[in-house]
Amino acid sequence: MLITDQKPVFIFGYICDMSEFLDQDIKFLPGVGPKRAEILFKELQVRTFRDLIYYFPYKYIDRTKIYRISEIHSQMPYVQIKGKIRNMETAGTGPKERLTAAFSDETGTIELVWFKAVKWQKENLKTGREYIVFGKPSVFGGKISVIHPEMELAEEQILKPPGLFQGFYITSGNMKNAYFNSKAIHKLQLVLGNLVKGKIPETLPEYLVKRLKLVSLEKALITIHQPGNSLELKNATFRLKFEELFFIQLKILSIKSNRDKKFRGFRFEKVGFNFNTFYHQYLPFPLTGAQMKVIKEIRRDVNRNVQMNRLLQGDVGSGKTLVALMSMLIAVDNGFQCALMAPTEILAQQHFNSIKKLVGGMQLGISLLTGSTRKKDRQIISEGLESGSIQILIGTHALIEDNVVFSKLGLVVIDEQHRFGVAQRAKLWQKNDSVPPHILVMTATPIPRTLAMTVYGDLDVSVIDELPPGRKPVQTMHYFENRRQQVYNFLRQQIEKGTQIYIVYPLISESEALDLKNLEDGYRHITEAFPDVKVSMVHGKMKPAIKDSAMQAFKNGDTKIMVATTVIEVGVDVPNASVMVIESAERFGLSQLHQLRGRVGRGAEQSYCILMSSYKIGTESRKRLETMVRTNDGFEIAEMDMKLRGPGDIEGTAQSGIGFDLKIANLGKDGEILQLARNVATDILENDPLLQSDENRLLQKSLSIMKSTEYDWSSIS
């Protein structure tokens, strides 16, 4: 019986009608049936043969080695032994019944133990027969034993086809309770592998398969579940990873190519009075080489009649705002208006203040629009936008409201763009009726190279990787609790020098689930430890007016220590604050630690970041803290963050608009394959942009199916 829905589907570039072999309901696979099919769908979203064959193992165990019992110890992950059951004994009754078997080879004896399905084991296991036993050794009753081992008669394993690396599959607790474990999935994959032979057509053009020396898709899909040796596994894995990443890159680069043809852009032909006046008279310090390079890239983009879509990456304090301002001045010189949208009122106000200060006495119309802007001021802004007297409007999501109407919007700058939803950004993009404004999106969260090529692969990327002159790298130190008094002595010395201090806690109030220093206790402790110092407290649950007042007091220097949660991660700029203490630092992610550290080091004085942690920290936490101490390079930190946490957890990817669900590739580990996939996709599109040649027709069909299933959000960054 086949599913009759004829809607085409796209998986790994494989185009098919739903009437094909792989799209049969999984319940018709021998060994499944209706009940197991229901479990597979509910727990793993496996509905068809295709879903199952693309459900890949997460690890493999080498089944080539047979250990002698005398070699086994409890620290070994898995062992495979060959021998005979000498005797079996049961103990306990009912749910507490267990079966113990003495299993021997020529070097010794080990215990095999079962707590479940005891009756079945007693009926099916035979003493004196030779078995291959596979499982994890542990200590039970003071002896080394293997609990719930896999058992196969040695004579039956010899008759099986070669499959020396056994795949292990992620399964749920509900599946295990139904005796549907990884081994059961592995057996189903072996059955399916035999059935699909000769039924999986190639998905990549023949010239590409030959050029890259790839194994066929059919061989890769069968081998990935039952590899005979490490080379076979390597070749199958490479083929499947390449194909997955290749089709993502082909899609992204095709979108970018089509967008450049489809969306015309305003042409900013001149660099005029405002830009030159600012550059020669108001620039606070010489531009870094990285800033000059980025401005040239932007200048080239806005002068070519194509809508600019550029991502500007740079660490906190690298000078992104200055680049954005100079880009906006180019737009103003060409008779256009600009919008700068920030995620919070604090950050919008900060941008407004810093830009007003930078342009000094220049006659520019710059206004601020946030949710707090009064009705009377909104009317003035509305009139200024309509007349064109407001040339730069800075604000929050208030900018996207329908009643905010520009007369000639030419450039939109979006700061910390991952904090806005795609639909929100689209509203700004649609403020013009015909020609869309140029788009510059900025982020202080460094994006790993592989993620940038995927999530933001359709954007042009600029990087500011230099700090302005005079800035010193923040010195980072990690201390355990027993050094707290030494840390406090250091803080007193810094306060005596006239500097200010942030102390950040992960929580607002005590949590029984997590043993963390909490903010309220921390505030009391700090006021007791520093009785002569004024201390303020800030957290996200405060009323905005109280929170703003506390922040302003710190900014003005009225308070010397600010005890806060991560609410200060973005939007607080106090050059006099030169020390950041992060309590329970092991509880923060790398990206967040780096963002918090960016709150200091904004003046000319040497700044410090002190990471406090308990002794009991895991391996990953230790690696994070060691990375922070070792480097200030945001991109190195981002790469390490992705290796430790995976791409799905990196801030911003969920709202990127690309939407991909990797089944086998790993952006943290497969950078070289991704780069190859991107290079191959680039070469193909340069020679055949519309994929119209006979040899690329398969690719073109794949792309058309991919594009028909989702909205082209990438058009609006």
Dist CA 243 CA 199 (whole Å): 19
Span 384-403, mean pLDDT?
Answer: 90
Do 426 and 438 fall within a single domain? yes
Q: What would the mean pLDDT of 163-190 be, rounded to a whole number?
A: 84
Q: How far apart are CA 508 and CA 517, in angstroms?
A: 9
Provide the pLDDT for residue 582: 95
Instruction: Please tell me whether residues 51 and 78 are part of one structural domain.
Output: no
Is the pLDDT assigned to residue 192 strictly greater than 70? Answer: yes
Tell whether 56 and 201 lie within a shared domain. Answer: yes
82 and 120 share one domain: yes
Q: Which of 1-15, 315-329, 524-538 has the lowest mean pLDDT?
A: 1-15
- Contact predicate 115/109, CB 8 Å: no
Say if 644 falls within a structural domain: no
DSSP secondary structure letters along 148-211: S-EEEEHHHHHHSPP--EEEE----HHHHHTT--HHHHHHHHHHHHHHSTT-----S-HHHHHH
The answer to pTM > 0.85 is: no
Instruction: Render the burial of 540-569: b for 16+ CB within 10 Å, e for the rest.
Output: eebeeeebbebbeebbeeebbbbbbbbbbb
pLDDT band at 646 (very low <50, low <70, confident <90, very high): low
Per-residue pLDDT band for 509 (boundaries 50, 70, 90) equals low
* Percentage, residues of the chain above pLDDT 70: 86
Mark which of 436, 464, 492 sits at the end of a domain.
Answer: 464
Q: Match 């194509």 to its residue by tokens.
A: 306
Band (230; pLDDT cuts 50, 70, 90): confident
If asked whether residues 456 and 500 sit together in one domain, one would say no
Domain C-terminal end among 401, 433, 464: 464
pLDDT band at 280 (very low <50, low <70, confident <90, very high): very high
Asked if residue 381 and residue 361 are part of one domain, the reply reads yes
Assess whether pLDDT exceeds 90 at residue 460: no
Q: Vertex 383, ends 378 and 387: CA angle to 5°?
A: 150
Instruction: Tell whether 205 is covered by a domain.
Output: yes
Domain that holds residue 118: 64-162
Domain boundary residue, one of 579, 614, 631: 631
Q: Which has the closest alpha carbon to 250: 652, 659, 690? A: 690
CATH number of the domain enclosing 622: 3.40.50.300
Residues 282 and 210 in one domain: no
Are both 424 and 299 inside the same structural domain?
Answer: yes
pLDDT beyond 70 at 105: yes
438-443 sheet: strands from edge to edge: 366-369, 392-395, 337-341, 409-415, 438-443, 309-314, 460-464
Question: Would you call 95 helix, strand, or coil by DSSP?
Answer: helix
Q: In terms of domains, do 348 and 435 share one? A: yes
Query: For the residues 693-711, what does the mean pLDDT come to?
Result: 73
Same domain, 84 and 114: yes
User: Is residue 459 a part of any domain in this protein?
Assistant: yes
Q: Classify residue 638: in a domain, yes or no.
A: no
pLDDT at 484 (0 to 100):
92
What is the rounded average pLDDT of the residues 582-609?
A: 87
- For residues 53 and 148, give the distance between their C-alpha atoms in angstroms, rounded to a whole number: 27
- Determine, yes or no, domain membership for 657: no
Please state, in angstroms and rounded to a whole number, the distance separating the CA atoms of residues 108 and 177.
34
User: Does residue 307 contact residue 438 with C-beta atoms inside 8 Å?
Assistant: yes
Q: In terms of domains, do 104 and 133 share one?
A: yes
pLDDT-derived band at 626 (thresholds 50, 70, 90) equals very high
AA letter at 707: K
Residue in 588, 647, 643 with CA at minimum distance from that of residue 613: 588
651 lies in a domain? no
Domain contains 650: no
Domain total in the chain: 5
What is the DSSP track for 101-134? EEEEETTEEEEEEESSSHHHHHHH--TT-EEEEE
Q: Write the CB contacts of 151 (distance below 8 Å, at least 6 apart in sequence).
A: 112, 125, 131, 132, 133
The whole-number average pLDDT for the span 61-72 is 83
Same domain assignment for residues 288 and 385:
yes
Predicted pLDDT of residue 298: 95
Amino acid 15: pLDDT: 44
